[in-house]
Structure 1
Amino acid sequence: MDKNADIAARLQALRDDYAARLPAELQQLRKLVDDLTEPDLRAGALAQLNHRLHKLAGSAGSFGFTDLGKQAKKLELQAQEWIAGTPLDMGLLRVFSVAVTALGGDLQAERRNKPMPLVSQTSPQKTNTLIYVLEDDPDIADEVCMTLRHFGHQVEHFATIASAETEVLRRPPDFMICDIMFVEEGREAPEAVMILQQHLPAPVPVIFVSTRTDFEAYHAAVRAGAVGYFVKPLDTIRLVDCFEYYLDRHRSAPHRVLIIDDDLALAEHYKLVLKAAGVHAEISNNPRIIFDLLHEFHPDLVLLDINMPGCNGIELAQVIRLNQDWLRVPITYLSSEQDVEKRAVALGRAGDDFLSKPLSDRELVTAVSTRAARSRQLSDALDRDSLTGLLKHSRIKEQVDIELSRTVRGGGELSVVMLDLDHFKQINDTYGHPAGDKVIKAIAHLLRQRLRKTDAVGRYGGEEFVAVLPRCGRDEAMMLMEDVRQRFRDISFSAGDINFNVSLSAGIAAYRPGIDRAEQLLQEADAALYRAKTEGRNRVCFGR
């Protein structure tokens, strides 16, 4: 059974279980309404009735019972009026009782008329990227193709537009890099690409290269789907920088969302729907363990149900905000509350946004994905090195600590790699700092491209980098870093008319029982790196 079929089956099982529990829940509501006629039982019955109606209003729609959820919401609003002090009129109570008795109607008919929950289809992650290079200058084509292949991409070169057109339609690439002018053919690539885009199942991002700097050339490129435009003579590393920027958006780790809701069945439904959309969600109904969950999971977004017994969502949001470590994590309330004043009070105390129950699956995925993406963009702006886009020194050290804690708790393997560019000061002194920056950016691109989405890599300082590889043993780490070392050694850099190559050295430290501090792994990796340097550089060595 594939992933989406499995998720669909689990969603259907949740829906069936919810439907099986509904008759007993509706019977309990009717009993509570009967208790309202007894003065001694009224206060407790009213509080329970309001809580149960609130849960029903928030969950029924997600499990396919939209009408039931709407009816429950109307009854909840009446119960809230009585709790607020409105006198309980016996005539109105009889009407209320009839409405509660009628709740649900023909549940089977409502289920038959509702489609299965939306399960978003997610594309499998590609191991490499197919790039078409349309360039009639063989020297430029060779340089671009060779550089992209060193970064692990699948590249095909076309010297004419005509030769590319059939292949683009037969096997659309993930990316295109195109010259604008093809003089011998008497054609311009933007016009041809724009026509091709209209016949493709999805637009293909394009980077155009040209000697032209006029407005018309840029305008034509935009119409053809350009995401980048570079003027010759071509700076290949800058072109790769632009290309990698777009790839990183699809290569990044799944967004992480923490859901706290006392209705675990509904929370599990949310979790499965988000999983189908490529979002990693964790759920809990226990506010008391919130800090354990935050430290272990490091979410991009926290979703809090407002109406929870013991500690409601507003109070829990305030608890989170009291801890300085979690001031940046966005908090969104899940609630069927429609009162504008009450929402304003909730946001004034803590929290950043509201999502109104009931949520359709599509609304849930869209709302969560956009908020989590925005959160990660902000974190990246604060936590990442401006030149390379890699994690800064403090953040990569923190990542070592996080992954070590996970490994100690759950078992498994963990490797930490410390990497350094050989003779980098000499490169800066000989070719200048701009050339040195190109080299730094190139190794950053290569590391991001060759490492897994679950790995973390940071710029530790200057020309030194650290990679954190969870669920990766020392032998696997050695194979990975040997691949990186060889690919990097083959990249050709240029400074003016001079071409040069750069090598790297790396040290690997692997977790073993007895290691309980991140500093131990970093020190062992550093010692292994020192050994690689003293043994002649351009090599990868193990620690203890």
Structure 2
Amino acid sequence: MTEHLSHAEKQLAALFSRRLGPRLKQCIALVEQGFEQNWPADVFHRVHQHIDMILRGAERFGYDSIAEALGGLQATINHAAEQLTTPEETEIQHFVEIITSYLENKNILPLPKISTSQHSTPVPTKTEEEEPDLPESLLARLTPSSEHPIYIVTSDSSIDSLSESLSLFGYQLHVFDHLGDAQAEITARRPQLMVMPLPESDDLAMVHEFIQSHHLRAVFYAPRDTLENRLKCVRAGGEDLFLTPLDDYQLLLYLDRIAAPINDDPLRALVVEDSKSQGTFCLRLLRKVGMEAEWIDRPELLLDTCRQFQPEVILMDMQLPGCNGLELAAVLRQFPETRTIPIIFVSAEAEHPHQSLSSVTGDTFIEKPISAEKLVSTVLHRAALFRQTREIRVRDELTCLPNYESFMQTLAASTSRAARDGVGFALLCFEIWQLDHIRTERGEAGANRVVQTLGHLLRHRTRCSDFVARIHDNRFAVILYDCTEADADRIARAINGLYRQGLHKFLTVAENLAWGIACLTGESAEALYRAALRRLQDHVERLRA
């Protein structure tokens, strides 16, 4: 099923396989809940969200029968929503039976009990039979990988040192004596980066054509950094110029910058509307333009939905049961995690008496009846602007990793999802031992190099599905999804070994890292974080002793 996938995709397939059973069980239980409660809006859209979440992975990783059943289930429910009716139980039963049969064959029934409340519940205990073997080892990313090939044209015999340094971070260096020698390799597999000597003036056009025709990202190296050489670099199609001898640290910084993940996930919009016809209209319209959208019809669902869904814009009706939109917006402004989310109010009055507040809060008003074009353009613009500014705010400047604020929000959302889906995770916190001493001995630049080295390792040597953040001057945190405490400890030891190996040329004695691990057992995000920090402090005390 996964033979044709890349290394990173295989890890995503493994994670999807691990989560598929619990998510299918949750989906069926929500369908049953819908029939029991006559399909209220929140249950309808929780079902829709679950189907969407599973369907994309099922189609991507070859679970054809599940994808077909979920697609039919989704089409039936959507048709009922469009007709403003409830789905017929007989129409749903066929698709539910296919999913149930799959779960029975995998020996992962009975179904869990689903609470109808909106509060998080403890993660259910899983048995050995419920967890299928992973097609890839959990630690596969901790061994050198050829997923990131770098091609370099050079005859320098000292290149082995550079190759060794890059390999620690998952980059594989391929060396060629001449540019022509690399052409066959480039045709077979395009590198992440091409590193070449700065060409002479007569060869600039030829090299530029070579780079353009092969769609390469390229940098050049030269013995001097002058304006003339910089212009040659630009004219030859290069993105940057490095000085010789090549410094592995500077090259790593550049590689990490161009490889920094771009958040191209669909923009997320939340519709707060008590009218079923209006809510369904907005939902279909936003999804049609590629947004990930949810709809709630009761104000009391707003805070929990925001914590789980993390919307980037909220479309809110002014008149809601028990309150108005401005009052509800004021409640959102009381919480740090929802304080800055842009809100677009939908008002039936052309000149609403509170529209002047929009100049202060930055919120927007749209008049009913809603123009589809204006709605889409306004929602897309506000969501995209929010994401752009948030990405700047929640990233650590030195390592380009998420910062403490982003980490705590992700930890809270992960804890909530784990309670909902029955899939746990481990929290691993690292501390760079004696960073202040390194700062005294090597200066701020030396301390920065140590911090960036650990940031590189954690980014490249954890799974692409895990979450890595720099949470303090000398501390990092990793959320390892579907990971036991024993596996997390093995990962920590492997990272520690690679960290010491990566710094052995820079520091005479590279100190060990300290780490602490806590696994989710039903507590809050804050309690889990405190537990990991206690374990971390215990490790620090052992190192001091």
Task: Mark yes or no: TM-score above 0.5.
Answer: yes
Task: Check conservation: 2:355, 2:365, Cα contact below 8 A.
Answer: no
Q: Find the partner of 2:174 among 146, 156, 172.
A: 156
Q: Which residue of 2 aligns with 1:331?
A: 343
Q: Counterpart in 2 of 1:45?
A: none
Matches within 5 A, 1:69-218: 129-138=147-156, 141-173=159-191, 175-181=192-198, 191-200=205-214, 203-218=215-230
Residues 484-523 of structure 1 aligned to structure 2 (within 5 Å): 484-492=495-503, 503-513=512-522, 515-516=523-524, 518-519=526-527, 521-523=529-531
1:419 CA drift (Å): 1.0
* Contact 2:313–2:382 under 8 Å retained in 1: no
Aligned length, in residue pairs: 418
Measured against aligned partners, the alpha-carbon deviations of 1:324-352 in whole angstroms (never above 9, x if no partner) come to 523322234689x9979999768447554
* Deviation by residue 1:283-339 (Cα, 9 ceiling, x = unmatched): 33334322222223333x11415577648996477445543523322234689x997
* 8 Å Cα contact 1:132-1:176 kept in structure 2: yes
Q: Distance in 1 between matches of 2:542 and 2:473?
A: 20
Query: Cα distance 1:246–1:296, how it changes in 2: closer, same or farther (>3 A)?
Result: same
TM-superposed deviation, 1:247: 1.9
3-state SS, counterpart of residue 432 of structure 1? helix
Residue 451 of structure 2: SS of its match in structure 1? helix
Residue correspondence of structure 1 range 449-464 to structure 2 within 5 A:
449-452=460-463, 455-464=466-475
Q: Which residue in the other structure is 2:309 paired with?
A: 297
Q: Aligned pair in 2 of structure 1 residues 443, 370: CA closer, same or farther (>3 Å)?
A: farther
CA shift for structure 1 position 534: 2.6
Aligned residues of 2:271 and 2:296 also touching (Cα < 8 A): yes
SS in 2 for 1:412: coil
For residues 98-142 of structure 1, the C-alpha deviation after alignment (integer angstroms, 9 at most, x for no partner) is xxxxxxxxxxxxxxxxxxxxxxxxxxxx99743333231535643
Tell me, yes or no, if the aligned pair for 1:271 and 1:282 is still in contact at 8 Å. no
- Map of 1:17 onto structure 2: 79
Partner of 1:358: 372
Amino acid at match of 2:262: H
Give the Cα–Cα distance (whole angstroms) in 1 for the partners of residues 185 and 378 of structure 2: 38
Percent of residue pairs identical = 20
Which one scores higher on RCO, CA 8 angstroms, separation ≥ 6?
Answer: 2
Distance in structure 1 (CA, Å) of the matches to 2:358 and 2:282 = 22
**Match of residue 233, structure 2, among 181, 204, 221:** 221
In structure 1, C-alpha distance between the alignment counterparts of 2:359 and 2:526, rounded to whole Å: 39
Q: Does 1:427 align with 2:438?
A: yes
Quick check: which has more Rg, 1 or 2?
1
Task: Report how far residue 404 of structure 1 moved.
Answer: 3.5
Q: Does the 8 A contact of 1:145 with 1:157 survive in 2? A: no
Would the aligned equivalents of 1:332 and 1:354 in 2 still touch at CA under 8 Å?
Answer: yes
Normalised by the size of structure 1, how large is the TM-score? Answer: 0.61
CA distance in 2, matches of 1:11, 1:271: 21
Structure 1 residues 13 and 488 mapped into 2: Cα distance closer, same or farther (>3 Å)?
same
SS for the counterpart of 1:249 is: coil
Bigger drift between 413-422 and 251-260 goes to 251-260
Question: What secondary structure does 2:398 align onto?
Answer: coil
Asked if 1:2 corresponds to 2:59, the answer is: yes
- Output the TM-score relative to the length of structure 2: 0.61
SS of 1:420's partner is: strand
Alignment of 1:388 with 2:399, yes or no, is yes
Q: Is the 8 A contact 1:418 1:525 kept in 2?
A: yes
**Alignment check: 8 A CA contact 2:319 2:325 kept:** no
Q: Does the 8 A contact of 1:260 with 1:304 survive in 2?
A: yes
The CA distance in 2 between the partners of 1:371 and 1:220, in whole Å, is 41
What amino acid is aligned across from residue 193 of structure 2 in structure 1? M
* Structure 2 residue identity aligned to 1:135: V
Q: Is the 8 Å Cα contact of residues 134 and 178 (structure 1) preserved in structure 2?
A: yes
Cα deviation 1:352-406 (Å, max 9, x = unaligned): 458974359xx96x98777545423423433333322334445545544453344
Q: Identify the match of residue 447 of structure 1 among 438, 454, 458.
A: 458
Aligned counterparts of 2:176 and 2:250: Cα–Cα separation in 1: 22
The CA deviation at 1:518 is 2.2
CA shift, 1:162, in A, is 0.9
Q: What are the superposed Cα offsets for residues 152-210 of structure 1, whole Å, 9 maximum, x if unpaired?
A: 2344333321112232233223x214133368xx985x64553134334xx44333333
TM alignment of 1:334-353, pairs within 5 A: 347-348=358-359, 350=361, 352=363
In 2: Cα distance, 1:148 partner to 1:338 partner:
62
Structure-2 residue corresponding to 1:84: none
- Cα RMSD for the two superposed structures: 4.7
- C-alpha spacing 1:311/1:159, structure 2 compared with 1 (3 Å): farther
What secondary structure does 1:178 align onto? strand
- Structure 1: any 5+ residue segments left out of the alignment? 25-125, 538-544
Secondary structure of the 2:483 match is: coil
